[in-house]
Structure 1
Amino acid sequence: MIENVVIITPCFNENTTVISFLKSVENVIKNLSQNFEVVVVDDCSSDHTLSLLKEFKFTASNAKLTILELKFNVGHQAAIYQGLLYSSELDSDKFIIMDSDGEDDPKAIEDLVKFQDFDIVNVARGRRKESLSFQTSYYIYRFIFKIITGKILNFGNFCMIKKKVLKTSCYTGFIHFAAHLSKQKVSSTSIVYNRLKRIDGKSKMNMTSLVHHAFKSFVEYAEELLMVFLRVFMLIIVSFFGFIGIVLYKKFFTEEAILGWASTMTVSLFTTALICIGFFVIGILLLNMISQKNQSKREIFNKLSEKND
């Protein structure tokens, strides 16, 4: 029996870039033995992307194109989620997620489909063709992420997942797909491919979007962040009562003068403790809200076409 593989790729205002991407994917998959359904999730593009997609047609006999038009713009990560929702009902156990701007090397598909015994196969990033300042900021972000979570996030959206992982992602939801995958308690491995230059040469990822992207990855580890605040709170409380004990001991049991900055230090410790416990309580409430929101996820796409030769 011929194996079916689904490729999910979100796009927004890519114009001819997405067409070039689809052609490069076809050049790889036409030589493979599997059947491929490429699911392009158009995130309510405002340019000619959608009309170009409607005109495009694979020539390879083992490739089929499906276009999902989102009813409104939801952003890159939510577009991936909509692609997963649609694909969850397809007859396949291998799902490849990749970006449509050309930075994810389609040649990796040939290696990804060979894996059988892993639930997640990430494509770790090799060299990046970005500015020095962007690369420096990105490595700082990865370092902070490792300190807080204990995980090394050296991959992005480009990966292959099995259906049980896809089902889990559809049920729980996510706002940062890579961080979400790094939390899954399943068998995983990775391969390394260098990031290519965008087909049109204009990267949509700048310093501001990198910061936003980083914040979203930390939200996926909200419980771990809350535990950091809780540990800091406990440390401050212990320090607070220890400091109070020293002050009271000196006042009632010794002739030593109480340090002039003692009251300031005591108030500062108490205030910091209140801030930490406040973050902890607010975090718990937000986690509950996120959990309830995830349970209400719905499909918001129209399936426009399904084409093959």
Structure 2
Amino acid sequence: MAESFVIVIPQFNDWEALNLLIVKINQDLAPETLSNTTLLIVDDCSSKDQTTPFPPFNGKEVKLLRLYRNLGHQKSIAIGLSYVAEHIPCDKVVVMDADGEDAPADINLMVAKSMQEPGKIIFAERKKRNESFLFRFFYVIYKHLFKQLTGKVITFGNFSLVPQRRLQNLVRVSEIWNNYPGGIIRSRIPYDSVPTDRAKRLAGNSQMNFVSLILHGLSAISVMVDTTAVRILIFSILMSIVAVAFIFVILFLKVIGNATPGWASTLGSTLMILMLQSFMISLFLVFMVLQYRSQQHFIPAIHYRDFVDTVDTIG
């Protein structure tokens, strides 16, 4: 029996690109996969009305899930996955963007990889990007910071395939509410990836600006804030050791009479203040994280219903 699929597509005011994406899914998805696929479009409380109806879909059906309020891309994905886990029986779920930058043809590669690794989430890893030099430059910085602060490597985004056996685990991971790929890394659910090229946007302009990109990067780091806090504390301790070493050097220079009057005491006291401040801030951050871990967390599988307005079946 052929496997059944659901493609979860979050969108906000991207109706034109979404219509073109549905056409591309019809054209590029393998026929045996397409015939057993349901589209679940999560409308993130769009401020613009849909002006043209969806084009005919050659799969099973199209469902439109509307949210009561705008929550953002990551939360829309978590709600879509939670709805599928409860209401749509399927073997595998694909998460992709509505703008067309996630190429439908790459779903075929992820399906093939999933056949080889049936118990793993499969991500589309970008081997080539079409963004500007400035974006790629800051993206490299982001990946480097993510590795240094969390000890993990992130080379992928939302475009992924989730097998049913992992879906029920995933929708109970509170961190996906903040950042979907970061939450999967944090959850320790096994995953793998296939190399793909990022496609071009099908229509309209990107909703993502520079501030949004920074917030997205910080949200990915925040899901592993406990590890990040400890690493910052360790770094602070190492810097404090360096500061103490400099203070001893300054004292030595003052004793032998090679220090400029007033310079040694000023620099030494400044280093001492900076050392104590950085250490106390880092320690406070660690205690905040430990306190956060003792609190009850938001579980998408349980709480997503509070944000769902309507679910309509189209075609």
What is the TM-score of this pair, normalised by structure 1?
0.84
Verify the 8 A CA contact 1:58 1:64 in the aligned structure 2.
no
Correspondent of 2:272 among 270, 274, 277: 270
The equivalent residue for 2:142 is: 141
Q: 1:133 to 1:250 in 2, by over 3 A?
A: closer
1:133 to 1:85, Cα distance in 2 relative to 1, 3 A: same
Shift of 1:235: 2.2
Amino acid at match of 1:302: D
**Aligned-residue offset at 1:85:** 1.3
Cα 1:37–1:294 change in 2 (3 A) is: farther
Q: 1:236 to 1:301 in 2, by over 3 A?
A: same
Percent identity between the two aligned chains: 27
One of 223, 232, 236 as aligned partner of 2:235: 232
Residue of structure 1 in register with 2:75 after alignment:
78
Give, in whole Å, the separation in 2 of the partners of 1:36 and 1:291: 40
Match of 2:27 in 1: 27
Shift of 1:13: 0.4
What are the Cα deviations for residues 238-264 of structure 1, in whole angstroms up to 9, with x where unaligned?
44555667788999xxx6459544433
What one-letter code is carried by the residue in structure 2 that aligns with 1:194?
D
1:270-304 CA-to-partner distances (Å, cap 9, x unmatched) read 33333333244235425644774633652211342
Aligned to 1:223: 226
Contact 1:11/1:100, CA 8 A, preserved across alignment: yes
Between the aligned partners of 2:72 and 2:207, the Cα distance in structure 1 is 12
Spell out, residue by residue over 1:46-92, the C-alpha distance to the aligned partner (whole angstroms, 9 max, x if none).
Answer: 1123x64xx436442x4221111000001111111111111112322
Describe the shift of the 1:110–1:151 C-alpha distance in structure 2 as closer, same or farther (beyond 3 A): same
Gaps of 5+ in 1: none
Deviation string 1:73-131 (CA, Å, 9 cap, x unpaired) is: 01111111111111112322411111010000000111222313241111011322222
Change in 2 beyond 3 A, CA 1:240/1:134: closer
Equivalent residue for 1:104, pick from 99, 102, 105: 102
Paired residues of 1:29 and 1:36 also in contact (CA < 8 A): no
In structure 1, what is the Cα distance between the partners aligned to 2:64 and 2:17?
16
Letter in 2 for 1:208: V
Query: Who is 2:312 aligned against?
Result: 305
**Residue 212 of structure 1: how far off its partner (Å):** 1.6
Determine the structure 2 residue equivalent to 1:183: 186
1:202–1:293 CA distance, 2 compared to 1 (3 A): farther
Counterparts of 2:15 and 2:55, CA distance in 1: 15
Aligned mates of 1:225, 1:108 — CA distance in 2: 33
Distance 1:46 1:6 in 2: 26
Q: Report whether the alignment pairs 1:160 with 2:129.
A: no
Q: 1:246 to 1:296 in 2, by over 3 A?
A: same
Instruction: Give CA-to-partner distance per residue, 1:123-146, whole Å, 9 cap, x none.
Output: 011322222222222222222223
Q: Give CA deviations for 1:181-235 in whole Å, capped at 9, x if unaligned.
A: 2334233221122111111152223322222221111112212221222112322
In structure 1, C-alpha distance between the alignment counterparts of 2:23 and 2:272, rounded to whole Å:
62
Query: Is the partner of 1:7 in helix, strand or coil?
Result: strand
Contact 1:250–1:258, Cα closer than 8 Å, also in 2: yes
1:15 aligns to what? Answer: 15
With the length of structure 2 as denominator, give the TM-score of the two structures. Answer: 0.83
Partners of 1:70 and 1:187 in 2: CA distance: 30
List runs of 5+ in structure 2 lacking aligned partners: none
Secondary structure, aligned partner of 1:73: coil
Q: Secondary structure at the match of 1:102?
A: coil
CA distance in 1 between partners of 2:166 and 2:279 (Å) = 35
Do 2:173 and 2:187's aligned partners in 1 also have CA atoms closer than 8 Å?
A: no
Amino acid at match of 1:197: K
1:120 corresponds to:
121
On the 8 A contact 2:7/2:94 being kept in 1, the answer is yes
Judging changes above 3 Å, is the alpha-carbon distance between structure 1 residues 2 and 289 closer, same or farther for their aligned structure 2 residues? Answer: same
**Aligned partners of 1:96 and 1:158 also within 8 Å:** yes
Structure 2 residue aligned with 1:5: 5
